[in-house]
Amino acid sequence: MESLNLLAGGLADALTPMNLLWVFIGAFLGTAVGVLPGLGSSMAVALLLPVTFTLDPTAAFIMFAGVYFGGLFGDSTMAILVNTPGGSTAIASTFEGHRMTLTGRGPQALATAAIGAFVGGLLASVIVVLFAPKLADLAVNFGPPEYLALSVLAFVATATVVSTSLAKGLASLVFGLTFAVIGIDGISGAQRFTFGAPQLFDGISIIVITVGVLALGEVFHVASRVRRTRPGRLHKITGRPYLSRAEVREAAPAWGRGALIGAPFGVIPVGGAEIPTFLAYGGERALDRRRKHPQFGKGAIRGLAAPEAAGNATAGTAIGALLAMGLPTSATAAIMLAAFRQYGLQPGPLLFTRSADLVWTLIASLFIGLVVLLVLNLPFAPLWAKLTKIPRHYLYAGIAVFCGLGVYATSAAVTDLILVLGIGFLGFLLRRYDFPLAPIMIGVVLGPLAETSLRNALLSSGGDYGVLVDSGISVTIYAALVLVLVFVAYRGLRARAARDV
Amino acid sequence: MSQATVAPAPSHWGTGRSGLVLAGLILAFAIYLTVGIITMTVPDGAEPPGPKFFPIILAVACYALAVMLTVHYVRRPEAPADTDGVETIEEPEGVRHKSFTDWRTLGLTMAGFLAFALLLDPIGWILAAALMFWVIAWAMGSGSPLKDVAVALVLSCAVQVAFSAGLGLHLPAGILDGVL
C-alpha cells in the first residue's frame, strides 16, 4: 500500500505540463526510430544523451522511458506492413503479422500489436510498482562480492545467449571492458593506457562509445550496403486499425501469456527483448497446434499478440531492475545507467531512499507514457509507416550530423570526434561480421563496477578469494550463471546435432 | 574481402574468412593492453590487487579470444550475414561485386565525417555540418546535388538555432562569426 501512495505522489509530479511534454516527445521519437528499420531505441537514447544534460534528470529519464517503450511499439509496424522488422525485437512479430496483412487484415494486425505492446508494458509497470521497492530492500544487503557476481552474470549472459558464437559474444564484451579501463584508475590514481595523452586521462567518454557503436556504426553499416539494396515495398492498407469483439477475445489470452513470459526477462541479463519475443511466439505456436483449427501460417492473431506483449513487458521490468539494483539488462538500459551516473545518481537500492521523488515520478511516467503511446500508435500506425518514405541518404546523413553534434556538444573536443569515427568503424566491423552489440555496451557500463567491486572485495579480505562466494546471495547469482551456461551449451549441442543430420 | 553472395562466386582461401580482421583487431587490443601494463607506473602505497590486476585478466582474455576467433574463421568460413533486419532486397541477378562491402560509399561517408571533425573549428558548425550532410547524401546515391545543398544548410542552421538558442549548447561559429 505504501507503494501505491508513493505512486500517487509520483503521478502528481509527472502530470505537470512540462513533464507531459517530455513524455510525449520521448514517445514520439521512440515510435519514429522504432518504425524505421535499422534504428532502435538504443540508438535514439545514445543520440539524446548528450543533449539532455541541460535538462533536469527527471525530464531526461521520463523522456528516455518513452523512447524505450516507443521503440518497441513502433518496430512492429514495418514488420507487419513490409515484412522487414523495425528491430530485432520485432522479428518474431513478422511471421504472423505480415501474413495478416497479406490476407487483408493489416489494420487488425496493427491494432493487435499496439494493444499487445500496451498490455505488456502495463503489466510490467504494475510489477515494477509492487516489486521494485522489495528488490531494492534486498539489494541493500549487496556488498562488493554481490555486485561483482551480478556484473559477471550480466557479462556472461549477454555475451553468450544472444550471440551466434561464443567467441564473437565474448570478443564484443572484451572490447567494451577494454574501453572502460582506459584513463586514471579511481582507486590508486595510476594512469592506465593513456600513454601520456591528456585527452585520455578521464577515459573515453561513454557518449563517444555509445554514439560510435550504436549510431555512427549503423550509418557506416548502411553506407556499406545502401547502393546494393533496395527498401522493401510498403503494403497499402485501407481502413482504420480496430479489433472486433471476437478478435479481442481471440487475442486476449495471448497478450496475457506474452506479457507473463516477457516480464521475468527484464531482470535476466540476456541483452534485451529478443529472446522473450521468440519464446512467446514459440509458445503460442505450440498451443495452436493442439487446437481444432490451427491458425498459424494463415495469419494467426495470437502469433502476433504474444511477442508484442512480451517485448514491452521485458522493457518495463528492465527499467525496474535498473532502478532497484542498478543492473542493466539491455543496451538501452545500459545507456540509461550511464545517464544516471552523468547526473551523479547511482541506480540501486539507495536511489529509492535518496531520490524517491525522481524514482516514483519516473515509474508514474511509465504509465502515462504507455497511454500516450497507445494513442499515438493505435489510430496512426499507417501514418507512421510513411516515415519510411524519407530517402535513406537523407536519413543517414542526418543521423551522422546528430552524431557529430552529440559528441561535440558534450566535450567540445575535436579529438573526441576522431575517436568516435574510429569507434564507429569498429561498430561497422562488428555489424558486418555479425557480432552482437549489447555486450560491448554492458561491458563499458558495468566494467568499472566489476573492477572496483573485485578489488574492494579482495582488499577487505586481505587477498582471500573465498570472500567472493561467501554470501548466499552471491552463491545464488553464480548458480544462475551456471544455469545460463548449461542452457547455452545444451542449445549449442542441439544445433550441432541438427547440423550433422 | 569475401565475395558477393551472387553464385557461383569464384572462391579462394580468403572467401568467407575476412572476419579474421577482427581476430587481428583483438590481438592489437591485447598488445595495447600488454604494453600499457608493462609501462604503467603504479603509485606507491597502492595495495594489491592494484591497478594492473584487472587489465591483466583482460589482456589474457584478449589473447585467448584472438586465438578463438582465428580458429573460428579458419575452420568455418562464413558468408556475410544480413540478418539485422535492414532491408535485404538485393540488386538484380547477374550483378556481381568484388566485395560484399561497398568500400567506395563507406570510404566517402567516413571521409565526410573526418572532414567535419577537422573543419568544425575553422569554418564553424553550419558549414561543416552541411558539408558532411551533403557528402554523405551524395555518396549514398542522392541524385539531386543542388537540392541536397539546400536541405543540408536548412538542417545545420536549424540545429544551430535550436541548440545554441534553445538549449544553450555552444557550437563554433567559425568563419561566420559576427554574421550570426
Q: Could you give the CA distance from residue A496 to residue B129 in angstroms, rounded to a whole number?
A: 50
B51 touches chain A (CB under 8 A): yes
pTM equals 0.89
Beta carbons of A88 and B85 less than 8 Å apart: yes
Q: Which of B3, B175, B85, B152 is nearest to A229 (CA)?
A: B85
Q: Could you give the CA distance from residue A202 to residue B40 in angstroms, rounded to a whole number?
A: 16
Q: What is the mean pLDDT of residues A209-218?
A: 93
B161 touches chain A (CB under 8 A): no
pLDDT digits (tens, 9 = 90+) for B100-148: 889 999 999 999 999 999 999 999 999 999 999 999 999 999 989 999 9
To test the contact with chain B by mutation, choose from A47, A173, A396, A401 the residue with the greatest count of B C-beta atoms within 10 A, namely: A401
Cβ-in-10-Å burial (0-12, 13-18, 19+) of B31 comes to middle
Taking contacts as CB-CB distances below 8 angstroms, the residues of chain B near A421 are 110, 113-114, 117
To test the contact with chain B by mutation, choose from A81, A229, A274, A458 the residue with the greatest count of B C-beta atoms within 10 A, namely: A229
Q: What is the mean pLDDT of residues A381-390?
A: 84
Q: What pLDDT does residue A56 have?
A: 86
Domain count, chain A: 1
Q: Could you give the CA distance from residue A140 to residue A324 in angstroms, rounded to a whole number?
A: 9
Q: How confident is the model at residue A494 (pLDDT cuts 50, 70, 90)?
A: confident
Of A54, A429, A451, the CB nearest to B167: A54
Beta carbons of B26 and A174 less than 8 Å apart: yes
Q: Which three cell numbers, joined as nine digits, stand for B126?
A: 553550419
Q: Which of A191, A451, A197 is nearest to B41 (CA)?
A: A191
Query: How distant is the alpha carbon of residue B177 from its chain centre?
Result: 31
Q: What pLDDT does residue A499 have?
A: 61
Q: How confident is the model at residue B179 (pLDDT cuts 50, 70, 90)?
A: low
Q: What is the residue type of A482?
A: V
Cβ-in-10-Å burial (0-12, 13-18, 19+) of A501 comes to exposed
Q: What pLDDT does residue B11 have?
A: 62
The nearest alpha carbon in chain B to A171 belongs to: B65
Give me Rg for the CA atoms of chain A: 22
3-state secondary structure A67-129: HHHHHHHHHHHHHHHHCCCCCHHHHHHHHHHHHHHHCCCHHHHHHHHHHHHHHHHHHHHHHHH
pLDDT digits (tens, 9 = 90+) for A177-202: 999 999 999 888 899 999 888 888 98
Q: How confident is the model at residue A501 (pLDDT cuts 50, 70, 90)?
A: very low
| A496 pLDDT above the threshold of 90 | no
Q: What is the mean pLDDT of residues A259-277?
A: 87
pLDDT digits (tens, 9 = 90+) for A37-53: 878 888 888 888 887 87
| B89 pLDDT above the threshold of 60 | no
Instruction: Compute the nearest-CA separation of A229 from chain B (Å).
Output: 5
Angle formed by the axes of helices A106-139 and A2-14, nearest 10°: 120
Q: How confident is the model at residue A141 (pLDDT cuts 50, 70, 90)?
A: confident
Q: What pLDDT does residue A218 have?
A: 92
Q: How confident is the model at residue A144 (pLDDT cuts 50, 70, 90)?
A: very high
CA angle at A302 for the pair A301 and A306, rounded to the nearest 5°: 125
Question: Residue B8, preceding bond cis, omega within 30 degrees?
Answer: yes
The nearest alpha carbon in chain A to B95 belongs to: A228
| A262 pLDDT above the threshold of 60 | yes
Q: Which of A322, A320, A350 is nearest to A336 (CA)?
A: A322
Instruction: Compute the nearest-CA separation of A254 from chain B (Å).
Output: 25
Q: Could you give the CA distance from residue A43 to residue A29 in angstroms, rounded to a whole number?
A: 11
| B14 pLDDT above the threshold of 90 | no
**Whole-complex ipTM:** 0.89
Q: Could you give the CA distance from residue A446 to residue A354 in angstroms, rounded to a whole number?
A: 22
Q: What pLDDT does residue B178 have?
A: 66
Q: Which three cell numbers, joined as nine digits, stand for A162?
A: 544472444
To test the contact with chain A by mutation, choose from B1, B6, B87, B157 the residue with the greatest count of A C-beta atoms within 10 A, namely: B87
B28 touches chain A (CB under 8 A): no
pLDDT digits (tens, 9 = 90+) for A101-119: 888 888 899 999 999 999 9
Instruction: Compute the nearest-CA separation of B168 from chain A (Å).
Output: 8
Lowest-pLDDT choice from A286-300, A320-334, A378-392, A468-482:
A378-392
| Of residues B154 and A487, more confidently modeled | B154
The residue ranges of every structural domain in chain B are 20-75, 103-176
On whether the CB atoms of residues A125 and A267 are closer than 8 A, the answer is no
Taking contacts as CB-CB distances below 8 angstroms, the residues of chain B near A87 are 85
Q: Which of A369, A373, A474, A375 is nearest to A138 (CA)?
A: A474
| Of residues B89 and B129, more confidently modeled | B129
Beta carbons of A193 and B82 less than 8 Å apart: no
- Cα dihedral A230, A235, A236, A240 sign: negative
Q: How confident is the model at residue B3 (pLDDT cuts 50, 70, 90)?
A: very low
Taking contacts as CB-CB distances below 8 angstroms, the residues of chain B near A185 are 51
Q: What pLDDT does residue B86 have?
A: 41
Size of interface A-B (CB pairs under 8 A): 240
Beta carbons of A174 and B48 less than 8 Å apart: no
Q: Could you give the CA distance from residue A441 to residue A46 in angstroms, rounded to a whole number?
A: 11
Beta carbons of A225 and B101 less than 8 Å apart: yes
Q: What pLDDT does residue B32 have?
A: 96
Q: What pLDDT does residue A49 have?
A: 84
Q: Could you give the CA distance from residue A195 to residue A197 in angstroms, rounded to a whole number?
A: 6
Taking contacts as CB-CB distances below 8 angstroms, the residues of chain A near B165 are none
Q: How far is CA A239 from CA A81, A242, A246, A381, in A?
A: 14, 9, 18, 11
H or E element that contains A220: helix A217-223
Beta carbons of B42 and A391 less than 8 Å apart: no
Mean pLDDT of chain A: 89
**Segments forming the whole domain that contains residue A350:** 2-500
pLDDT digits (tens, 9 = 90+) for A324-373: 988 898 889 999 998 998 888 888 888 988 888 899 999 999 999 999 99
pLDDT digits (tens, 9 = 90+) for A29-40: 999 988 888 788
Of A85, A428, A451, the CB nearest to B54: A451
Q: Which of B123, B122, B147 is nearest to B133 (CA)?
A: B147
Percentage of chain A with pLDDT > 70?
Answer: 99
On whether the CB atoms of residues B66 and B26 are closer than 8 A, the answer is yes
User: A146 phi and psi, to 5 degrees?
Assistant: -70, -40
| A309 pLDDT above the threshold of 90 | yes
Taking contacts as CB-CB distances below 8 angstroms, the residues of chain A near B101 are 224-225, 432
Beta carbons of A401 and B65 less than 8 Å apart: no
B123 touches chain A (CB under 8 A): no
Alpha helices in B51-162 (DSSP H): 53-75, 103-123, 125-139, 145-160
| A55 pLDDT above the threshold of 90 | no
